[in-house]
Amino acid sequence: MSKILVIATSLRPKSNSDTLAMEMIRGAEEAGHKVEFVSLKNKQISFCKGCLACQKTEKCVIKDDAVEIAEKVKLADTLVFVTPIYYYEMSGQMKTLLDRLNPLFPSDYFFRKVYLLSTAAEEEAYVPNRALAGLGGWVDCFEKAELAGSLFCGGLNDSGEAEKHVKGLEKAYAFGKQLQ
pLDDT in tens, 33-65: 999 999 999 999 999 999 999 999 999 999 999
pTM exceeds 0.85 for this model = yes
Domain range summary for the chain, segments of one domain joined by +: 3-178
Mean pLDDT rounded to a whole number for the chain: 97
pLDDT digits (tens, 9 = 90+) for 161-174: 999 999 999 999 99
CA distance 105 to 33: 25
Given the candidates 3.30.1540.10, 3.20.20.70, 3.40.50.360, 3.40.50.920, the CATH classification of the domain at 3-178 is: 3.40.50.360
Quick one: pLDDT band at residue 127, thresholds 50, 70, 90? very high
CA distance 156 to 172: 14
